[in-house]
Chain A
Amino acid sequence: MSTVILVSLAVMALALCLAFVRLFRGPSLPDRVVALELFSSILVGIIGVIAIATDVPSLLDVAIVMALMAFMATIGFARFLERGGPRDD
């Protein structure tokens, strides 16, 4: 079981790196927002796996807050984009 957890954590860390590449290169602000949303999804997965590895069910609350924050951030960014504030892509 510990091998499975290590492998999945490694794969998800690699996924975080790939998402970071898009966050860094992303030609426009919406691309970066999509990468941030992917970040939070991957973090929810990582927190779940760590909760399994350490037998601490309270970590699920962190996952819930993470998902909530990502949703609010995406909605906020989208409102900001549609209103047409000052941008520096």
Chain B
Amino acid sequence: MTELIKGGLILAGSIFMFLAALGVARLPDLLTRMHATTKAATLGATLIMLAVAIHFAQVAVVARALGVILFILMTAPVAAHVIGRAGYFVGARLWGGTVKDELKPNYDPLTHELKSGMETEDNARRESGGADGS
């Protein structure tokens, strides 16, 4: 029974990793490639680490395997966010079929300045009023 679960977990994990690699090789632009790698590769590594924990079944090894899982789950979104942001800022080309780029009107590529999209007259007056202390 344990063997069955272990084998299933290993196979599922490696297939998810293969799907991530297929996505990174076939998808058209940076953001869609990140969409493939971040989620599928994280799930694949998690499943294989679960298989390792089931295989050894000792407290020390299970703790380390869970530590790897926790670390991957915590760092993968951060790394994806940071590299996606950097990629957008250096002008990675988006796919031709992109429907909506919500960052484009709010981002100035020369000064690297981001606006929130909420800069109405009311807000500006309120902010300057707060700076005056009135």
Contact = CB atoms under 8 A, between A and B. Distances in A.
If over half of A's interface residues share one DSSP class (helix, strand or loop), that class is named, otherwise mixed; here it is helix
Interface in A10-32: 11-12, 14-19, 21-22, 27-31
A8 to B, nearest CB: 4
A41 B10 contact: no
Contacts of B84: 30
Contact of B42 (A12, A41, A68): A41
Interface string B53-70: 001101011001101100
Interface size of B as a range:
35 or more
Contacts, number: 170
Contact of A48 (B7, B24, B49, B75): B49
Contact of B17 (A15, A30, A67): A15
Give the contact-size bracket for chain A.
35 or more
Given A18-B25, A41-B41, A60-B52, A30 B14 contact: no
Contacts of A28: 30, 87, 90, 92-93
A38 B21 CA distance: 7
A34 B34 contact: yes
B79 interface: yes
Interface of A: 1, 4-5, 7-9, 11-12, 14-19, 21-22, 27-31, 33-35, 37-38, 41-42, 44-45, 48-49, 51-52, 57, 60-61, 63-64, 67-68, 70-71, 74-75, 77-79, 81-82, 84, 87
Nearest to B112: A82
Contacts of A16: 21
4 nearest CB pairs, A to B = A30-B87, A15-B21, A41-B41, A8-B14
A49 B3 CA distance: 14
